[in-house]
Amino acid sequence: MTDRITSDELNRLERIAKSPSGEVTPEDALRLIAAAREAEVLRAENARLHERLEDNHVFDSEGQRFDVVPGTIPDGIAARDETIKILDKNIDTLRAAREKANAEIATLRAALKDAEAALEPWAKFADALNEQVPGDIAIGIFCDGAMRFGPSGAQDVNDLRRARDAHETIKGVMA
Same domain, 110 and 167: yes
**Which range (26-35, 88-97, 118-127, 161-170) has the least confidence?**
161-170
pLDDT of residue 161: 61
Same domain, 149 and 92: yes
Confidence of residue 28 (pLDDT cuts 50, 70, 90): confident
Same domain, 54 and 93: no
Domain membership flag for residue 148 = yes
Same domain, 34 and 101: no
pLDDT of residue 2: 45
Q: Does residue 26 register a pLDDT over 80?
A: no
Same domain, 34 and 89: no
Q: How many CB atoms lie within 10 A of CB 126?
A: 19
Higher pLDDT, 96 or 69: 96
Same domain, 67 and 85: no
Confidence of residue 1 (pLDDT cuts 50, 70, 90): very low
Domain membership flag for residue 1 = no
Same domain, 67 and 104: no
User: 54-67 burial by CB neighbour count: b if 16+ within 10 A, else e?
Assistant: bbbeeeeeeeeeee
Same domain, 146 and 94: yes
Domain that holds residue 47: 7-72
85-127: pLDDT as tens digits: 999 999 999 999 999 999 999 999 999 888 888 877 777 777 7
Half-sphere exposure of 80 (CA within 13 A, CB side): 6
Same domain, 67 and 111: no
Same domain, 120 and 36: no
Query: What is the spatial distance between Cα 173 and Cα 175, in angstroms, rounded to a whole number?
Result: 6
